[in-house]
Every structure is written in C-alpha cells, then in structure tokens.
C-alpha cells in the first residue's frame, strides 16, 4: 500500500507533506506530528469510505472527481521534516499551501494557513 520498501519515511514524525492523487495529479498539502503512515492511513480511509468522512478533503475529492471509479492511489512526498515545534510546522505548511495552491485542500484550511503567515 503506502509504505512499501523503505519504511523509514513512513515512520517520520513532525513533517509537512504532499499527497498526490495518481489518477488526476491533483494534490493536498498537510502536516502531522504523528508518524506519517498514520496520517496517510486516514487519507486512504477517507478515499475508500467518503460517506464516513464527509468533511475530509479526500472524501470530497473522490466524490467530486472520481465518483464512479475505485478509490485512486496516492503518492506522497515530504517537504519538511524534523519540525517538532507545532507553530513552525503550521507556518511551513502555510507557506507551501500559499506557494502551491493545492486543489484538494479545503477553503477553511487555506484561510487558516494564510492567517498564520499574514500576521
């Protein structure tokens, strides 16, 4: 599934990451203090069960873009690692969101991110 081969990336904590929908190349930018595999598992569950996670950006993405298709595969990468300070992690995430304007992130996430860097 997500962590094939080298599991060291999946065990990373305190990261800012990018997740790409392999079917359409739209993407999401997020952050987590937990092991990355746990956060990725949440994204995958939302794709597979959109009705169970109605407010999740990946549920909405699957429903709007891939309605009659099986859940798409995800590809992920790390933008920043070793960010134990939650404020620093949120600011780095906000800067990446501002730079890349990820289509899967929801508007509330975008507004919150912008509020962190426009103080």
CA 113 to chain centroid: 14
Task: Check residue 107 and give its pLDDT.
Answer: 80
H or E stretch including 15? Answer: strand 15-21
Is-above-0.95 flag for pTM? Answer: no
Other residues' Cβ atoms within 10 Å of the Cβ of residue 55: 9
CATH class of 2-116: alpha beta
Task: Check residue 1 and give its pLDDT.
Answer: 44
Quick one: average pLDDT of 85-114? Answer: 90
Task: Check residue 2 and give its pLDDT.
Answer: 57
The dihedral built from the CA positions of residue 111, 78, 1 and 19, taken in this order, carries a sign that is positive
Q: What is the DSSP string of 40-87?
A: HHHHHHHHH-GGG-TT-HHHHHHHHHSTTSPPPPEEEEEEE----SHH
Query: What is the domain partition of the chain in residue ranges?
Result: 2-116
Query: Tell me: the pLDDT tens digits for 36-95?
Result: 999 999 999 999 999 999 999 999 999 999 999 999 999 999 999 999 999 999 999 999
Q: Which residues, other chains included, contact 34 with Cβ-Cβ below 8 Å and sequence gap of 6+?
A: 13
Q: How far apart are CA 31 and CA 45, in angstroms?
A: 17
Q: How far apart are CA 94 and CA 106, in angstroms?
A: 13
If pLDDT is split at 50, 70 and 90, which confidence band does 96 have?
A: very high
If pLDDT is split at 50, 70 and 90, which confidence band does 116 have?
A: confident
Quick one: average pLDDT of 102-108? Answer: 90
CA distances from 78 to 13, 20, 71, 75, 119 (A): 11, 12, 22, 11, 26
Please determine, for residue 118, whether its predicted confidence score (pLDDT) is greater than 70: yes
Query: Tell me: the pLDDT tens digits for 5-34?
Result: 567 888 999 999 999 999 999 999 999 999
């Amino acid at each position: 599934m997500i962590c094939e081969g080298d599991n060291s990336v999946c065990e990373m904590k305190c990261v800012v990451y990018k997740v790409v929908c392999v079917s359409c190349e739209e993407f999401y930018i997020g952050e987590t203090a937990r092991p990355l595999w746990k956060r990725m598992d949440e994204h995958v569950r939302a794709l597979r069960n959109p009705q169970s996670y109605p407010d999740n950006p990946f549920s909405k993405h699957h429903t709007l873009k891939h309605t009659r298709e099986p859940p798409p595969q995800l590809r992920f990468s790390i933008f920043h690692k070793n960010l134990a300070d939650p404020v620093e992690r949120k600011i780095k995430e906000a800067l990446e969101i501002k730079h890349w304007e990820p289509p899967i992130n929801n508007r509330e996430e975008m507004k919150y991110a912008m509020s962190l860097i426009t103080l």
